[in-house]
Structure 1
Amino acid sequence: MKQCFQDFSLSAVFAGFITFLVGISVSAVLIIQGAQALGASQDQISSWFLALGLAMGITGFILSWRFKYPVATAWSTPGIALIIAVGQHYTLNEATAAFIICGVLTACIGFSGGFQKCIQQIPMSLSCAMLAGILLKFGLSLFIQLQQHFNFVATLLLVYFLSKKYFTRYAIVITVLLALLLCPIFLSFQFPPIHNTLPALIWVQPHFSLQSIFGLAFPLFIINLSSQFLPGIGIIKSYGYTPHTNQLVGWTGLTQIILAPFGAFSVCLAAISAAINLDEQAHPDPKKRYIAGLCSGICYLLMAVMAVSLTHILLAFPSIFITTLAGIALLSTITHNITMAFEVPQEREAACVTFLFSASGVNFLGIGSAFWGLILGLVIHHFYRLKPK
């Protein structure tokens, strides 16, 4: 604790707070959609926010403290997008079982040291194509909404692109803040009263089924590895640190297993937002930047305490507010994954099939399109790699 006080700096605290703010700014509204898609009640949605806040707060704080470099953890935005896309096919109990299975797979692949081996078995082009297909409808809905709510959607798009050009790191934060100001002007909205009720963890009995394991748990696991853990480890390395990969992946997976029955659908390493904690703006001395990771963890714990109020506020916003912000927040993710999916010419056909199949939303044997799109893409990928006799 003494060392913590010695290494303390306001710049690190601010970096930790901004990392937290970027992490929850828009994806929080996606959690509302995802939980509702599975039929969760308002109290259960509050439990989701409480469980996620505890998961991110505890893992971010302890791992940063243990390894003395900033470790930012987060829920998976692409993961909650998957849940929204396929949620109508599963009950909350089945989804909860899938979240537990995903955590078990993550913990096993982390502690066993098989993280890199698993990633290498799935071409990056196909995992990106699957993710791009899942996210496609979010991008399309953004522009479909222009017809009915032109002023609100167009203004937010303008704000986003301007802030993306001149204040890249804070583009999403700026867009969310402006959306909050514009909501009462363009939409029918009245700010709800703040509730002082403390949240409670609500247990959901998991119901294990092959459909939810193959249709939700496996795709969620693959998405988390490729879109969160892989870039998360890469970002830590890029700033000169040596990440404890096995422990980082393993402990986050174990945390997900414990808190999944209460709503922690994914516990991952943060990807893009993690760079804020790792950058020299947090502190010129790399050995003292872990304070930013501690601060991010504390912010998530405070969010957990405010879970009931957060739920009431988010549920009060019109659906157009949520869908517009979700679409804008995912624009960069969609762009990145489409680019990566079709980057290698020899893999484009397999990636295209995976992308289109995943975007189709079709369901076979109770298993969603993301799983089948990836399977078909892998078959085509390996077929083209066969050497003719």
Structure 2
Amino acid sequence: MTGVLQPVLAGVVTALVGFASSFTVVLAGLRAVGATETQAASGLLAVCVASGASAVWLGLRHRLPMSVAWSTPGAALLVATGPVAGGWPAAVGAFVLSGLLVVAAGLFPPLSRAVAAIPKPIAGAMLAGVLLPLCTAPVRALVEVPALAGPVVLVWLLLHRYARRWAIPGALAVAVVAIALTTPSGRLGSAGLWPVFDPTPPAWSLPALVGVALPLFLVTMAAQNVPGMAVLTGYGYRPPFGSALRATGLASVAAAPVGGHAVNLAAITAALAAGPDAHPDPDRRWIASVTAGLGLALLGLGAGVATTLVLLSPPVLIEAVAGLALVGALATALTTAVAEPDAREPAVVTFVVTAAGVTLLGIGGAFWGLLAGGAMLLLFRRKSLLPPQQRREEGAGVPAART
């Protein structure tokens, strides 16, 4: 019995931490691209159920702790993208296409290898640019609603120092208390206890497909699926990448019509189920990932209440909680972006263009940042391939910088 209890408890913790640490990012992302309150609650429920079903299927099939979660960087991308041409139905269509691309990557290994071959500095810089606007929210919240944001940030700092795993759930709990204390009881009583699936027929818009579907696919693969595989490999497992991509991609396609943006291998919480704390025996840790999947699906039933609480709060307060949840991811992305000296400037260009949040031809900044940084990197590499004499001649034609 002890051999089952430990991974079950680890799975429960994984589900709680995974849900509480970033559901606010999901709701913010869905609302940013046009979802109503009901549609956002439906989307949160959809990604919870899709993640849970995928985790249970992969765990039982392969007997490996393959945790599955929604795409937190993908939700942050939606926040940075904002309204898309064609509205919410076009966003749903982009979610469908993104899921199909993940399935294709699972069926055709060259596609997944091509995504993995995107230079890490460029991928890291694009992700950092996507995350930056949300990560500045805690600062704005401290200025705009200091009485509410101050305790949230303080609790996050203390728990981040002494119990890091619970930093975001603790900060969220303080935010919920603050919302409850400052909201009339009548409005709290109107919270819906049982969310419903709210289907939306997908529509197709070229700006949405290029500006949402493609960046969502790339961010989900580069920032979630590939790192998730690395975590499992680091603990000595040899997970079937193709099977994981097919399962999560199909789950994403199924969840998209009811608002789910993307599910994938967990990267942030993967270690909770795959590490030795889940069970000393690596062959028993799959119980933790299956339990986490079931727990996440059950937590999705609270999506209606979660959405109502978010809507009752000052928007900047919930954005602040989401931003705190992404500080670690931003730090990792920035470190990756500037790690290689030869790619540092192209990475900075990618970061700046993405963080600017510009929309051109109806396409968001993440695509243009990736395009600008990639073009600059190719230019730099072309120059490095020239003969030394030609490089010196080209360099001589560039005026020296003035100080």
TM-score bucket of the superposed structures, by smaller chain: over 0.9
Tell me how far apart the structure 2 counterparts of residues 325 and 53 of structure 1 sit (CA, whole Å): 19
Match of 2:46 in 1: 51
* TM-superposed deviation, 1:170: 2.4
> Which residue of 331, 334, 340 corresponds with 2:330?
334
User: Where does 1:1-389 land on structure 2 (aligned, <5 Å)?
Assistant: 9-90=4-85, 91-114=87-110, 116-184=112-180, 187-188=182-183, 190=185, 192-193=188-189, 198-386=194-382, 387-389=385-387
* TM-superposed deviation, 1:286: 1.0
Q: Which amino acid aligns with 1:367?
A: I
Secondary structure of the 2:362 match is: coil
In the alignment of these two chains, the number of paired residues is: 383
Alignment check: 8 A CA contact 1:183 1:189 kept: no
* TM-superposed deviation, 1:98: 0.7
* TM-superposed deviation, 1:176: 2.1
Alignment check: 8 A CA contact 1:115 1:246 kept: no
User: Which one has the largest radius of gyration?
Assistant: 2
Secondary structure of the 1:343 match is: coil
Tell me how far apart the structure 1 counterparts of residues 365 and 184 of structure 2 sit (CA, whole Å): 36
Q: Residues 330 and 23 from structure 1, CA distance in 2 versus in 1: closer, same or farther, beyond 3 angstroms? A: same
Secondary structure of the 1:114 match is: helix
Tell me how far apart the structure 2 counterparts of residues 149 and 52 of structure 1 sit (CA, whole Å): 31
- Give the TM-score taking structure 1 as reference length: 0.92
Q: Which amino acid aligns with 2:321?
A: L
Q: Which amino acid aligns with 1:52?
A: V
Q: Which amino acid aligns with 1:95?
A: A
Tell me how far apart the structure 1 counterparts of residues 277 and 147 of structure 2 sit (CA, whole Å): 37
Match of 2:397 in 1: none
Tell me how far apart the structure 2 counterparts of residues 142 and 20 of structure 1 sit (CA, whole Å): 25
Regions of 4+ moved over 6 Å? none
- Give the TM-score taking structure 2 as reference length: 0.89
Tell me how far apart the structure 2 counterparts of residues 100 and 134 of structure 1 sit (CA, whole Å): 21
* TM-superposed deviation, 1:188: 4.7
Return 5+ residue gaps in structure 1 as ranges: 1-5
Tell me how far apart the structure 2 counterparts of residues 269 and 258 of structure 1 sit (CA, whole Å): 16
Q: Residues 297 and 369 from structure 1, CA distance in 2 versus in 1: closer, same or farther, beyond 3 angstroms? A: same
Return 5+ residue gaps in structure 2 as ranges: 388-403
Secondary structure of the 1:125 match is: helix
Q: Residues 322 and 214 from structure 1, CA distance in 2 versus in 1: closer, same or farther, beyond 3 angstroms? A: same
RMSD value over aligned CA atoms? 2.0
Deviates more, 1:6-15 or 1:321-330: 6-15
Match of 1:3 in 2: none
Percent of counterpart pairs with the same letter? Answer: 33
Match of 2:391 in 1: none
